[in-house]
Amino acid sequence: MSDAPQSLRRPPFDAPHHGGNGHPSSNGHHGGNGHHGSNGHYRSSGTLDRAVAQQGAGHPAESAGTLRSETTVRDHAHLLHPADPEFDEIGEVELTDLVSDLITGLGEDVTREGLIKTPHRVERSLRFLTSGYQASVEEVLNGALFEAEGSEMVVVKGIEFYSLCEHHMLPFFGTAHIAYIPGDTILGLSKFARVVDVFARRMQVQERMTSQIADALEQALKPAGVAVVTEASHLCMMMRGVEKQGSTTRTSAMRGVFKSDARTRQEFLDALR
């Protein structure tokens, strides 16, 4: 455990656990005697003073024996913006030792030039791909609810999503199609894509993700009905296992009148053709 006072400790998503904070690697790849710190540069064995020196003037020690976080502390709102060019360069470092162990276990040399920064990059990638755990529907909707002026069906088609199969941690990706019949409120169209990302950017199964999107929209909008259909290709079936390249999976979730009224449901399904 860290020797820092409780007031200086940060939750897992805000604090790096390598390089002078009491979490050295058991196999010696990172941290106090490791090969690189959370800033991606090579770090040799040394004292806290040397670690602070490598941080540069922008990262001095907060007090004697306490090393400041090696990364800019940001709240998790930045996880919701995939276009943010800083995402893969700034963030929390917590998994690099595990990734190093994985690479070594696969028979590679994590210290060679092409791999020396790979644990750091994989950490960033996985944080982004699972950033839905740190998001909430209320946060992404951000009050974008407006008074409904009609009760006709609204259909949003072809929303791209990328997720991780929870069984193999390989990607599955495709499109989501959403329809709803407004009650008292309507939702800004871009928010449907953000709601999809909240649930796609997690370790998932497609069936559950589809139901979670439908349930979240039903709770937020209180519509007469909501319907969600997702279609996806799963790399766990394409690049391993049965290796069937042309397979796709479709799942659906119907709520309200889309479940109870066959004609309404069929109107939505016809709109997807």
Is 78 one of the annotated active-site residues of the chain?
Answer: no
Is 206 one of the annotated active-site residues of the chain?
Answer: yes
Question: 62 — phi, psi (to 5°)?
Answer: -70, -35
Is 166 one of the annotated active-site residues of the chain?
Answer: yes
Active-site residue identified among 55, 204, 206, 212: 206
Active-site residue identified among 78, 168, 231, 267: 168
- Give the H/E segment covering residue 192: helix 190-200
State how beta strands 203-204 and 249-256 pair: unpaired
Is 147 one of the annotated active-site residues of the chain?
Answer: no
Nearest-angstrom CA–CA distance, 95 and 178: 36
Active-site residue identified among 76, 78, 134, 236: 236
Q: Where would I find the H helices in 8-159?
A: 48-55, 96-105, 118-129, 137-141
Active-site residue identified among 160, 166, 207, 266: 166
Long-range contacts of 234-238 (CB under 8 A, 24+ apart): 234/165, 234/170, 234/172, 234/206, 235/165, 235/170, 235/171, 235/172, 236/165, 236/167, 236/168, 236/170, 236/172
Of 207, 198, 216, 125, nearest to 166 by C-alpha is 207
Nearest-angstrom CA–CA distance, 71 and 143: 31
What tokens appear for 269 in the block? 């399904």
Active-site residue identified among 86, 167, 219, 266: 167
- Beta-carbon contacts of residue 69 (< 8 Å; ≥ 6 apart): 10, 14, 15, 16, 59
Active-site residue identified among 18, 35, 177, 234: 234
Residue 36 DSSP one-character state: B
Indicate the SS3 state at residue 51.
Answer: helix
Active-site residue identified among 17, 30, 165, 204: 165
Would you give the end-to-end CA distance of the chain in angstroms? 57
| Residue corresponding to tokens 């941080």 | 55
Is 138 one of the annotated active-site residues of the chain?
Answer: no
Q: Hey, which residues are catalytic here?
A: 165-168, 206, 234, 236
